[in-house]
Structure formats: C-alpha cells, structure tokens
Structure 1
Amino acid sequence: MNDLLTLWSANSAVSAAIWLVLAMTLLYFGRNPAHRILLSSGQGLRHMLRMASRALSQLERQLGKRNREVLLAAARNDAERRIEREFTRIQTLVARDLSGYPALHRQISTAIDNVENSYREAGDSAPLPPAWGEVVNTIATLPSHGDPAVAKILSNIKDAVHDTHKETLKTWQASADQRHKLLAKMQPEWRTLNGKMDEVARTIDNLDNRTHQLDKQMQHYEEVRRGEDAAVRSLTSSSLTQFFIAGLVLTIALLGGLINFQLIAMPMSEMVGGTSYIGGVKTSDIAALVIILIEIAMGLFLLESLRITRLFPIISSMDDQMRRRMMIISLSILCILAGIEASLAYMRDLLALDKEALQQSLSMAANASGVAASNAEFRWIPSIGQMVMGFILPFALAFIAIPLESFIHSLRTVLGLALVAMIRLVAIATRLLGNLAGDSATLLTHAYDLLIMLPLSIERLFSRKREAATAVQFDDSQTTDELADVIPDVAAEEKRSRKGRSKNNSGDAAVAVA
C-alpha cells in the first residue's frame, strides 16, 4: 500500500494527488456507462419490486375473496342449523300443544252445550201472574145494594182471588229461584270455557313467537345468501368476538386441567412407578395427562352424541339408537374416570399425610408431633374437598368441546384476516422498497457526479463558452437570412410600383389621343 502511495513521487501528498487526478479522470470518462448501470439497476429493481407488490396485492384480493366465501359458507351452515332448530321447536310445540286440540275442542263444545242448555232452561219460566190487584179492586167496588148474600159472595170471591194471587206469586218466585240456580250452575262452565280459551291463546302466542323467530332467522339467511357487505361485516365482528371469548374460556379450562393434573400426578406415581421415564418425562405425569385427555375426549363424544357440537359429522349422521348407545357409553366412561380421579385425590391426601408423618418422625421433635396430633382430627376436611374436586373437574372439562368448536370455527376467519393484513403490509413494504430503489439509483448518480465535480465544472465552463459562440454565430446567420428575405421583398415591391406607373402612363396617353 505504501509502495502504491509513493509510486509517482517520494512525497506521499503529491503521489496521492496524482492518484486522485487519475481516479477522477477515469471516473469522468466512465461517467455515462456508470450512470446507465446505476439507473438501469435501480429501475430494474424498482420494476421487480413493483411487480412483486402487484402479485401480493392480487394474492391479497384472492385471499380476501376466499375468506369471504368461507365466512359466508360457515354463516349459511349456522343459519341452516338455527332454522332447523326453530322448525324442530315449532314441530314440538305443535305436537305437544296442538295435538290435543280435538280433545280441547270437544271440551269447549261440551261447555258451550251445557251453557246453552242451562240458558234455555233458565228462559222457560212460568207466566207472570195476572193483574190481580185490578180484579180485586173491581170486585170491591161492585155495589151490594145492602144485600147480605151479594156482599158475602163478593167477599168470598175477593178471598179466593187473594189466595190465588198468593199461590201464583209463590209459583213465580220458585220459578225465579230455579232460574237463578241454573244461571249459577252456568258459572263453572263459563270459567272452564274461559280457561280453555286462555290456553288456546297461550298456545297461539307461543307459536306466533316461534314464527317471528323463524322469520328473523330466514331474513338473516337471505342476507347471508345474497352476500351483503353489512352481513359480512357483522359476521366478521361476530367471529372475532367468538374467537376471544372462546380463547378466554379455553384458557380457564386449561387452568382447570392443570389443577386436575396436580391432583392426580402424585398418586399416579404410586400406580405406575415414580422412577420410570419416557423421553425425559415421568411416566406418572404422562399417565395423568392421558387420563385428562381421555376425559376431554369422552366429553366431546358425549356432546357430539347429544348434537350440541358438530365437530364430527359422522356422529351426528348416526341413527338415534346408535347415538343413544354412544352417549350412554361415553357418559359411563366419564363417570368411571371421575370416580378414579376422586379416589386418586383421596390417595394424594393420604400420601401427603404419610410424608408429613415421616418428616416429623425423622425430625424427632416432640412439639411438632403434638401439633400434628392436634391437627390430625381436621384432616378429613381437605380430603373431602379434594375428592369432590377430583369428581367434578372431569365433568367440567367435558364441556370444553363447546368453546373448542367456537374457537376452531372462528380461528379460520381470524387467521384469514391476519394473513390478509400481513400480505397487505408486505405489499406496501415491497412497493416502498421499489420506490426507494429507484430514488437510490438517482441519488447514487448524483453522488457519482459529486466525486467528479472538478472535471464536470471544467466541462460545464467550456460548454457554456461553446454555447455562447454558437449563439453568436446563430444570431449572425439569422440576421443575414432576414436581410436576404427583406431584399427580395423590396425588389418585388419596386417592380410592382413600376408596373403601376407604366399602366398609368399608358392610360393617360390613351385619353390624350381620344
């Protein structure tokens, strides 16, 4: 390096100046090819990155379209399930309530007939008594003319009329009492009829509510089938909500499974051995984990048999008898495993008690043994608690299939949205890098010119002088051309004026001759 530096002169500064002049000269003569290389490379890289950005944008559109189709398909399936469930409920309502409508109709008809008969009987009453008062007054005003026989006859007639009036009044009162009794007997029939009509009204109201729910489900299904943007946005937000809620529930279930694992891990070491390992993991831990996973699987099969979840379509497509058998088998296995876990939890408490007693016996501390003896009588409380937890936790873990199904179905939508967002960011970054590559190439050309600014300044100075000389020559030639253009015009004008004067002279001569 020092030899190259002192190649041209013993003075390193002079030699460096010569090297700098040579480098600037070489860079100056290679300026145009270097500019073309830099610009071509920058433009090529820019076009390549822009093409990659267009490809990513097209992939983003295709993926967004695919996510939309998947979301609408899942929404259609869910809407069909809801509509099917509403039809099943309506069928159950009709079979349960409206199937007894003939008997209800007979009861209502019987009640109406009884009411009509009672009303008819109440209407058939004895005639009202005649106007006995007028008859008695008429007889009393008849003149007796002082004849005692006539007076006696009239008195007898009056007494007979009074007696008849009393008997008729008693008969009419008895008939009125009978009608009142018949009308009172109609009251239970009216109440029965009112109750039956209320029952019919409640049934019709329930059916009307179900039909309104079915109309809403059908409207939602039509919106999903049409693929409206509002429906897609609603489904997307619903999927995100289900994803986070199901994730939270699965996290809680995972913590419950961890507690269940801690309950049965230590007693399992007594059953399968605590010194054996499988791949660096204790066999007892693997056995406890397998039991928990089997419980989750049995719970999943149980809910699939009940058609609460639809993770395995083959189970839902079984006939009712086979599903019932599978449900009984899954529930039986789950109960057996829950009993095993309860016994293991109790065994864990016994092992902990034995371990504590062993530590106390080894410590040989009298006061510690006294404390243990005083607390031993309450050891059954945590034992019962552990047994109850060991029996309940398997059934709690069995219901993990419900949030798991929601999590799996919503995970597709969330992953699709995340992938679309990531591809969009990559496309934007690629486009920005392409623009940066083109601008960087231009910047490098300016930096290249900055390195050779001295020869470029000299070239620019000579170019300006040459342009000035060329401009002067151009101005002289332009002036000469203008004069050459003007001289023919003047000659032509002079020629035209001469012709005009000759014509005028000839006209004057002709006038003179005339």
Structure 2
Amino acid sequence: MDSLLTLWSANTAVSATVWLLLAMTLLYFGRRPAHNMLRSTGEGLRNVLRLTSRSLSQLERHLVKRNREVLLAAARNDAERRIEREFTRIQALVARDLSGYPALHRDIASAIDDIEETYRESGENPPLPPAWSEVVNTIAALPSHGDPAVAKVLNNIKGAVEDTHKETLKAWQNSAAQRHKLLARMQPEWRTLNSKMDEVAATVDGLDKRTHQLDKQMAQFEEIRRGEDAAVRSLASSSLTQFFISGLVLTIAVMGGLINFQLIALPMSEMVGGTSYIGALKTSDIAALVIILIEIAMGLFLLESLRVTRLFPMISSMDDRMRRRMMVISLTILCVLAGIEASLAYMRDLLALDREALTQSLTGVTAAASGVAASHAEFRWIPSIGQMVMGFVLPFALAFIAIPLESFIHSLRTVLGLLLVAAIRITAIASRALGNLLEHSARLLMHAYDLLIMVPLSIEHLVISLRHRSQSTDEVADAIPDVSVEEAAEKPARSRKSRGNAKAAEKDADNGAVAAA
C-alpha cells in the first residue's frame, strides 16, 4: 500500500495528488456509462417494483371479491338455517295449537248455542202484576152507607183482591228468581267462552310474532342475496365480534381442560406407570390428554347429532333414527368417561394422603404432630367430594366447546381474509414507495458522481461556453456582407449628395406652393 502511494513520487502528497488526478480523469471519461448504468438500474428497479405493486393491487381486488363472495355465501347459509328454523317453529306452533282448532271451534259454537238458549229461556218474562194497590184503594173508598152487608161484601172483595195480589206477586218473584238462575247458569259458559277466546288470541299472537320474526329474517336474506355493501360491512363486523367472543370462550375452555388434566394426570401415572415415556412426554400425561380429547370429541358428536352445530354435514344429513342412536352412544360414552374422571379425581386425593403419610414417616414426625394430622384428615372428605364433582362436571362442560369452536372456525376465514388483504395492501404501497425511493437514489448517486469530478466538469463547461461564444461571434461576422475600401469611402459622399438633392427638391416644392398662392 505504501509502495502504491509513493509510486509517482517520494512525496506522499504529490503522489496522492497524481492518483487523485488519475482517478478523476478515469471517472470523467466513464461518466456517461456510469450515468447510463445508474439511470437504467433505478428505472429498472422502479418498473419492477411498480409492476409488483400493480400485481399486488390486482391480487388484493381479487381477494376482496373472493372474501365478499365467501362472506355472503356463509351469511346466506346461516340466514337459510335461521329461516328454516323459524318455519319449523311456526309449523310446530300450528301443529300444537291450531291442530285442535276444529274441536275448539265446536266448543265455542256449543257454548254460544247454550248461551243463546239460556238467554231465550230467561227472556220469557211473565206478565207484571197489575196495580193491585190502586184497586184495593178504590174498593176501600167505596161508600157503604152504614149498611153492614155492603161493608162486609166490600171487606171480602178487598181481602180477595189482596190475596190475589200476594199470589200474583209471589209468582212473579218466583219467575224472576228462575230467570236469575238461568242467567247464573250462563256464567260458566261465558267463562269457558272467554278462556277459549283467550287461547285463540294467545295462539294468534304467538303466530303473529313468529311471522314478524320471519319477515325480518327474510328481509335480511334479501339484503344478503342482493349483496349490498351495508350488509357486507355488517357481516364483516359480526364475524369479527364472533371471532373475539368465541376466542375468549375457547381460552376459558382451554383453562378448564388444563384443570381437568391436572386432576387426572397423577392417578393416570399410577395406572399406566410414571416412568414410561413416549418421546419426551410421559405416557400418563399423554393418556390423560387422550381422555380429555375423547370427551371433547364425544361432546362434538353429541351436539352434531342434536343439530346444534354443523361441522360435519354427514351427521346432520342422517335420518332421525340413526341420529338418535348416535346421540345415545355419544352421551353414554361421555357419561362413562365422566365417571372415570370422578373416580380418578378421588384416587388423586388418596394418593396425596399416601404421599403425605410417607413423607411424615420418612421425616420422623412426632406423635403429637401425627395426631394433629389425623384430626385434620377427618375433614379430607370435603376436598375429595369437590374433586369428584369437578371430575364429573368438567367433561360435560368441555363437551360444549363445539359451539364456540364452530363460530371460531367460521369467523376465522373472514378474519384471515381481512388480515391478508391488509398485508397485501401494505406490501403494494411499500413496493411502490420503494421503487420511487430507488429511482431517486439512482439520481442522487448520479449527482454524487458528478460531484466527485466537478473540476474536470467545470473545465468542460468553461470550454464549451467559450466555444459557443466564438461560434456566435463567427456567425455574426458571417452575416455582415464583404465591401472594398473605395466603396466604403464613397458611401459617405453618396449619402451627403443624396441628402442635398432631397433638400433642393423640398425647397423647389415650397416655392411652387407660394407662387400658386
């Protein structure tokens, strides 16, 4: 390195100056190829990245369209399921309540007939008793003229009239009481008719509510079928909500599964051996995990048989008899596994007691301490019962994991599509920005290259400007015509003579004008 530095001279500064001049000369002569290379490289990278950005934009549009189709298809299937469920409920309502409508109609018609007949019977009013008081007063006011026979006759007539009045009034009262009894007999019929009409009103109201709900479902289905943007946005937000909610429920279920695993891992080590390994995992841990997974699978099959979930269309498409058999088998296996887990949880408590006793015997615990431990052992049945209940209940709780799992799987497709669209959009924007940045970087390198050779470039620009200036002077000189010396001397005399002739002509013209005047 030192030999190269002192190649041109023993003085380092002189040699470095020579090398600098050589480098500047080489860079100066390679300026045009270097500029072409940088320009073509920047434009090529920009075009490639712009093409990549355009391709990513097309892929984004295709993916957005595909996500829209998938989202609408899933929403359409879900809407069809809801509409089918509403029709099933309406059919059940009609079959349960309106199937007895003919008998109800007959009961109502019979009640109405009884009421009408009773009303007609009660409407046959007996004649009102005459105005006996006026008759009695008139007879009593007749003059007897002091004749005892006439007075006796009048008294007899008065008594007969009063007796007849009492009998007529009693008959009229009996008739009114009979009519009241008939009207009272109408009261149960009215109550029966009222209850029947209430049943009809409740049935019609329930059917009306179902029809309104069905109308809403049909309106949503029409919006989904038309593929409106508002419906798509609503479905996307609903999918995101279902994704986070189902993810939270699945997290809770996983925690429950871990607790279940801890309940049965220790007793499983006593059953399958605690020193056996499959790879890096204990055989007992794998066995406990398999039991939990089988419980989840049985719960999934049970809910599929009940048509609560539809992860396996084959199970939903089975006939009712086969589905009932599968439901019974799944429930039986789940109950057996729950019982096994309860026994394993109880066995875990016994193993814990044995280990505690072994630890006390090995450490040499005193009799007093052992007595205290024995007194505490009397209440060990409480956690044992709790562990057994947990071991029996947790499998059934894990069986319902199929419901949030189905929602999570269906919403995961939409969420992944949205994330992929966002990633592609960001990549396209970054690709376009990177292309522009590389192009500007190439231009910056070209200017930096010119900055390194600014001395020869300045000399070149100076020479070019002088050359242009000399060329412009030559062009001006070439534009002036060539004349001899004599012609150049004669030109002023000619010009003076022509000016004198012009003045004489003007004077003659003025004299002629004066003479004419």
TM-score of the aligned structures, taking structure 1 as reference length: 0.90
SS of residue matched to 1:127 = coil
Equivalent residue runs for 1:331-346 within 5 Å = 331-346=331-346
The superposition leaves residues 363-396 of structure 1 with CA deviations (integer Å, 9 ceiling, x where unpaired) of 1120442332221111111111111111111111
Partners of 1:144 and 1:166 in 2: CA distance: 25
Equivalent residue runs for 1:32-51 within 5 Å = 32-51=32-51
Farther-moved stretch of structure 1 (421-430 vs 103-112) = 103-112
Deviation of the 1:36 alpha carbon: 1.0
The superposition leaves residues 399-422 of structure 1 with CA deviations (integer Å, 9 ceiling, x where unpaired) of 100000000000000100111111
Deviation of the 1:141 alpha carbon: 5.2
Match status 1:443 vs 2:431:
no
Match status 1:377 vs 2:369:
no
AA partner of residue 448 (structure 1): Y
Q: CA RMSD in A?
A: 1.8
Corresponding residue for residue 171 of structure 1: 171
AA partner of residue 301 (structure 1): F
Deviation of the 1:15 alpha carbon: 1.6
Corresponding residue for residue 282 of structure 1: 282
Instruction: Say if 1:302 and 1:330, in contact at 8 Å, map to a contact too.
Output: yes
Gaps of 5+ in 2: 482-517
Corresponding residue for residue 494 of structure 1: none
Identity of aligned residues (%): 79
Residue correspondences, number: 481
SS of residue matched to 1:130 = coil
Partners of 1:140 and 1:364 in 2: CA distance: 129
Deviation of the 1:159 alpha carbon: 2.9
Farther-moved stretch of structure 1 (272-281 vs 297-306) = 272-281
SS of residue matched to 2:296 = helix
Corresponding residue for residue 403 of structure 2: 402
Instruction: Say if 1:38 and 1:441, in contact at 8 Å, map to a contact too.
Output: yes
The superposition leaves residues 276-311 of structure 1 with CA deviations (integer Å, 9 ceiling, x where unpaired) of 111121111111110000000000000000000000
AA partner of residue 125 (structure 1): N
Match status 1:351 vs 2:351:
yes
Corresponding residue for residue 512 of structure 2: none
Corresponding residue for residue 426 of structure 2: 425
Partners of 2:190 and 2:333 in 1: CA distance: 57
Match status 1:162 vs 2:162:
yes
In the superposition, relative to structure 1, how do residues 475 and 219 fare at CA in structure 2: closer, same or farther (>3 Å)? farther
Corresponding residue for residue 361 of structure 1: 361
Partners of 1:420 and 1:408 in 2: CA distance: 19
Partners of 1:159 and 1:280 in 2: CA distance: 125
Deviation of the 1:4 alpha carbon: 2.2
Instruction: Say if 1:360 and 1:368, in contact at 8 Å, map to a contact too.
Output: no
Instruction: Say if 1:132 and 1:161, in contact at 8 Å, map to a contact too.
Output: yes
Partners of 2:360 and 2:449 in 1: CA distance: 86
Partners of 1:136 and 1:368 in 2: CA distance: 116
Partners of 1:474 and 1:60 in 2: CA distance: 63
The superposition leaves residues 99-131 of structure 1 with CA deviations (integer Å, 9 ceiling, x where unpaired) of 121222222122212211221111112111223
Equivalent residue runs for 1:15-94 within 5 Å = 15-94=15-94
Partners of 2:372 and 2:284 in 1: CA distance: 33
Partners of 1:212 and 1:467 in 2: CA distance: 92
Corresponding residue for residue 210 of structure 2: 210
Equivalent residue runs for 1:82-481 within 5 Å = 82-140=82-140, 149-366=149-366, 367-474=368-475
Deviation of the 1:259 alpha carbon: 0.8
Instruction: Say if 1:298 and 1:331, in contact at 8 Å, map to a contact too.
Output: yes
AA partner of residue 34 (structure 1): A
Instruction: Say if 1:303 and 1:401, in contact at 8 Å, map to a contact too.
Output: yes
Partners of 2:125 and 2:476 in 1: CA distance: 142
Partners of 1:85 and 1:238 in 2: CA distance: 20
Partners of 2:98 and 2:186 in 1: CA distance: 27
AA partner of residue 264 (structure 2): I
Farther-moved stretch of structure 1 (127-136 vs 110-119) = 127-136
Partners of 1:59 and 1:254 in 2: CA distance: 37
AA partner of residue 210 (structure 1): R
Farther-moved stretch of structure 1 (458-467 vs 30-39) = 458-467
Partners of 1:195 and 1:204 in 2: CA distance: 14
Deviation of the 1:133 alpha carbon: 3.8
Farther-moved stretch of structure 1 (9-18 vs 245-254) = 9-18
AA partner of residue 91 (structure 1): Q
In the superposition, relative to structure 1, how do residues 476 and 192 fare at CA in structure 2: closer, same or farther (>3 Å)? farther
Partners of 1:320 and 1:293 in 2: CA distance: 27
SS of residue matched to 1:28 = helix
Partners of 2:475 and 2:119 in 1: CA distance: 132
In the superposition, relative to structure 1, how do residues 146 and 44 fare at CA in structure 2: closer, same or farther (>3 Å)? same
Partners of 1:40 and 1:146 in 2: CA distance: 160
Partners of 2:403 and 2:141 in 1: CA distance: 103
Gaps of 5+ in 1: 481-514
AA partner of residue 165 (structure 1): H
Deviation of the 1:476 alpha carbon: 5.6
Deviation of the 1:463 alpha carbon: 2.2
AA partner of residue 357 (structure 2): A
Farther-moved stretch of structure 1 (87-96 vs 457-466) = 457-466
Instruction: Say if 1:50 and 1:431, in contact at 8 Å, map to a contact too.
Output: yes
SS of residue matched to 1:97 = helix
Partners of 1:426 and 1:303 in 2: CA distance: 43
SS of residue matched to 1:378 = coil
TM-score of the aligned structures, taking structure 2 as reference length: 0.89
Partners of 2:220 and 2:298 in 1: CA distance: 35
Corresponding residue for residue 499 of structure 1: none
AA partner of residue 120 (structure 2): R
Partners of 1:158 and 1:371 in 2: CA distance: 112
